């Protein structure tokens, strides 16, 4: 049997799952994992938020539920509880399982215990990895698995895994800059075009995890937005208003959210600092900052509209990932 | 084991494969098939063109190649040869295989022999079907399989399978009308916006299989297109020019392609006739015909452009399927 096609198809499922949490895992990478048991896919999970259980841990817990027909009565996102539970299981419980992970299981103990050590202990039949951990000191995962005699296959869908990983690779070194666009499917902007609760929730989740949002002065003057995370109940992001003049109505809610820092500036700095910057802006902002932007996130609402108001900008991009988000289309691309 | 998740994920792979040939199988339905062997996916295929081998036949042939490590020395798209070959195999060769098909295997003998009879003969372990054949007289496939003691599971991803099948269901009754749009990702039209050879080839393939193309008079006057299928070498489609005035330069290549019928009319008929009508046109055509259109096919090229020339139209749509086509995005939607 070749196995190549099978492993690529299954890894692609794990990669697509990870894309659902792209950006949301900051400062961690987006990672997906899949468990197949006697040739049947029984779990597909992704890392969702820094400080919580990693993808392979969530997938193993889900696999355990299917294999044992038991419910889990603890918070599976609590990484310490999750690891403790998995260590307590009979060691052969995953011996017919193959684990697919989009990134080498972490070998170090950070906010959460090491996944490589856990897998080495649990001894699944095989671990398939899309790409090795690029961070020095985190890259002993494969070795630890192999020391326990676990079969390891690497570089399955590596190109796709590296695209998924790109924001993480960038924010290790400097700011990863994501420009968000909401438009109709034929490019009309300016109407707050998000149809689905799912897309709105996604935007609010991104706002909650980013280091800082940059918005344009006109947006503040005209739209008077609050830019909070009310759909998710999380903390509102710090805001940089990119504007020549500092003539804003300080009474709008934007300025009065507790814990938020609002900066007005004409000179954008901090792009060198490892961080995650989210820009929500119009044509002016896109033109002004296009050399700073790494990726675009376009939400397209399912309509064509009469208009002459798309972004007036010339940009070549590369489509990286497309998926539905509720009824909207979510389209990730990079600048080329 | 639940199996639900596994079967849905695998059926989704077969459905996505079938979408690659959406429209191109006219007058047949788009159908995908996947073969899993001892829990490993070894074949994913789709029906590509009416009169050639069906999806499950192509998938079985591919599976045979993997299982037997033999090459096939005949044209696998020749359905008669393919069936004859598969009937000649030892009957237990697929006994560890589960076949996923997005549509019930055909029970009748049409241009190609019956796939249900073939599967009943080959006796795979299990056949998983997304949706039953809606055509009377073709719907005895499941029964034929079950009579041979083959386990059959139906209605896996049925909603998605019915979306895939919608053009076929429509062109049984009347014309299925597909409007093609090529644009930049922020909606600029009018530049012949297709970046990749893959999208261009796809358009030419659609032209070759459709019953008739409708285009606007202005397109003919201004762009003077040929509207042939030079990328695929197939026959150019019949053309209806929708125009009040018949004042075209008959010397342009459009009018001189052998075997092509060109009609100029102000009154569009034939929508009641079971057929596949492809419209390539601008804003005027989209507005004039929007009540006749079933689906949109948008190709988005990976760029944002300075412009004020998107389609001036108000349309609510529902996104059905999105995938890359070369470097472009291919987006199928229906009118709502």
Residue B80: CATH number of its domain: 3.40.140.10
Cα A277 from Cα A284, distance rounded (Å): 17
Higher pLDDT, A240 or B188: A240
pLDDT at A191: 67
Contact A298 B185 (CB under 8 A): yes
Contact B41 A2 (CB under 8 A): no
- Among A41, A312, A322, select the one facing B322 at the smallest CB separation: A322
Contact B311 A186 (CB under 8 A): yes
Residues A130 and A224 in one domain: no
pLDDT at B2: 52
pLDDT at B196: 85
- Answer with the one of B129, B146, B171 that is the final residue of a domain: B171
- Which residues are paired to A40 by β-bridges? A37
Tell me how many domains chain A contains: 2
Residues 6+ apart with CB under 8 A from B317: A185, A302, A303, A304, B296, B333, B334, B335, B336
Residues A250-298 have pLDDT tens digits of 999 999 998 899 999 988 888 999 999 999 988 888 989 999 999 999 9
Residues 6+ apart with CB under 8 A from B64: B70, B72, B86, B89, B93
Compute chain A's Rg from CA coordinates: 22
Contact A185 B333 (CB under 8 A): yes
pLDDT at B270: 80
Q: Burial level of B32, CB count in 10 A (0-12/13-18/19+)?
A: buried
Mean pLDDT of A28-53: 96
Q: How far is the alpha carbon of A259 from chain B, nearest alpha carbon, in Å?
A: 36
- Which residues are paired to A127 by β-bridges? A99, A152
Residues A163 and A182 in one domain: no
Beta-strand ranges (E) seen in chain A are 32-37, 40-46, 97-101, 126-129, 151-154, 175-184, 212-216, 239-242, 262-265, 275-280, 295-301, 303-304, 315-325, 328-335
Residues B96 and B224 in one domain: no
Residue A177 near residue A292 (C-beta atoms within 8 A): yes
Tokens of A3: 């196995």
Statement: residue A138 has pLDDT above 80: no
- Answer with the one of A171, A199, A227 that is the final residue of a domain: A171
Residues B81 and B195 in one domain: no
Statement: residue B190 has pLDDT above 80: no
Cα A27 from Cα A64, distance rounded (Å): 28
Phi, psi of B182, rounded to the nearest 5 degrees? -120, 125
Residues B56 and B110 in one domain: yes
A 10 A CB-CB count for B70 gives 9
pLDDT at A159: 98
- Among A5, A304, A314, select the one facing B317 at the smallest CB separation: A304
Residues A145 and A288 in one domain: no
- In terms of pTM, does the model score above 0.80? yes
**CATH number, domain with residue B255:** 3.40.430.10
Among B7, B59, B186, B335, the strongest candidate for a mutation testing the A interface, having the largest count of A CBs within 10 A, is: B186
Tokens of B206: 């659609």
Q: What is the ipTM of this complex?
A: 0.94
Q: How far is the alpha carbon of B39 from chain A, nearest alpha carbon, in Å?
A: 4
Residues A24 and A128 in one domain: yes
- Answer with the one of B171, B198, B226 that is the final residue of a domain: B171
Cα A186 from Cα B309, distance rounded (Å): 10
Residues A195 and A156 in one domain: no
Which is nearest to A328 in space by CA: A185, A149, A232, A231? A185
Quote the domain boundaries for residue B93.
Answer: 4-171
Residues A186 and A107 in one domain: no
Residues A126 and A264 in one domain: no
pLDDT at B192: 64
Which is nearest to A124 in space by CA: A157, A143, A102, A146? A146
pLDDT at A25: 98
Among B304, B311, B322, the strongest candidate for a mutation testing the A interface, having the largest count of A CBs within 10 A, is: B304
Residues of chain B neighbouring A10 (CB-CB closer than 8 A): 41
Statement: residue B179 has pLDDT above 60: yes
Contact A188 B310 (CB under 8 A): yes
Residues of chain B neighbouring A183 (CB-CB closer than 8 A): 186-187
Residues B220-274 have pLDDT tens digits of 988 888 888 888 888 889 999 999 999 999 999 999 998 899 999 988 888 899 9
Mean pLDDT is highest, among A193-197, A230-234, B188-192, B290-294, for B290-294
pLDDT at A296: 97
Q: A135 pLDDT band (50/70/90 cuts)?
A: confident
Residues B306 and B207 in one domain: yes
- Among B40, B44, B317, select the one facing A39 at the smallest CB separation: B40
- Among B13, B39, B313, select the one facing A39 at the smallest CB separation: B39
Which is nearest to B278 in space by CA: B180, B174, B192? B180
Residues of chain A neighbouring B336 (CB-CB closer than 8 A): 302
Residue B170 near residue B297 (C-beta atoms within 8 A): no
Q: How far is the alpha carbon of A322 from chain B, nearest alpha carbon, in Å?
A: 7
Cα A122 from Cα A137, distance rounded (Å): 22
Q: A8 pLDDT band (50/70/90 cuts)?
A: very high
Statement: residue A2 has pLDDT above 60: no
Q: How far is the alpha carbon of A261 from chain B, nearest alpha carbon, in Å?
A: 32
Residues A22 and A116 in one domain: yes
Residue B297 near residue B260 (C-beta atoms within 8 A): no
């Amino acid at each position: 049997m070749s196995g190549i096609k099978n492993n690529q198809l299954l890894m692609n499922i794990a990669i697509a799952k990870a894309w659902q949490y792209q950006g949301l895992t900051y400062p961690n990478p987006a990672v997906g994992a899949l468990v197949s048991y006697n040739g049947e896919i029984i779990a597909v999970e992704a890392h969702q938020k820094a400080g919580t259980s990693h993808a392979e841990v969530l997938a193993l817990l889900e696999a355990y539920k299917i294999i044992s027909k038991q419910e889990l009565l603890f918070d599976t996102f609590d990484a310490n509880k999750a690891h403790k539970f998995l260590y307590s299981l009979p060691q052969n419980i995953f011996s017919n399982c193959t684990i697919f992970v989009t990134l080498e299981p972490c070998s170090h103990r950070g906010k959460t215990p090491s996944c490589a050590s856990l897998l080495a202990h649990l001894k699944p039949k095989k671990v398939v990895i899309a790409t090795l951990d690029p961070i020095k000191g985190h890259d002993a995962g494969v070795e630890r698995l192999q020391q326990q005699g676990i079969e390891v296959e690497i570089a399955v869908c590596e190109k796709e895994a590296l695209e998924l990983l790109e924001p993480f690779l960038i924010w290790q070194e400097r700011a990863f800059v994501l420009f968000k666009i909401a438009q109709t499917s034929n490019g009309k902007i300016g109407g707050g075009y998000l149809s689905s609760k799912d897309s709105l929730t996604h935007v609010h989740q991104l706002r909650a995890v980013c280091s800082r949002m940059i918005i344009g002065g006109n947006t503040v003057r005209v739209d008077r937005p609050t830019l909070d995370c009310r759909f998710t109940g999380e903390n509102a992001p710090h805001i940089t208003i990119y504007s020549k003049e500092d003539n804003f109505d300080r009474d709008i809610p934007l300025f009065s959210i507790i814990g938020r820092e609002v900066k007005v500036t004409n000179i954008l700095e901090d792009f060198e600092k490892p961080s995650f910057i989210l820009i929500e802006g119009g044509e002016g902002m896109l033109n002004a900052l296009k050399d700073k932007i790494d990726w675009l996130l376009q939400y397209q609402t399912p309509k064509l509209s009469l208009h002459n108001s798309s972004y007036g900008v010339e940009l070549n991009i590369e489509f990286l990932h497309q998926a539905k988000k509720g009824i909207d289309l979510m389209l990730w691309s990079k600048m080329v």
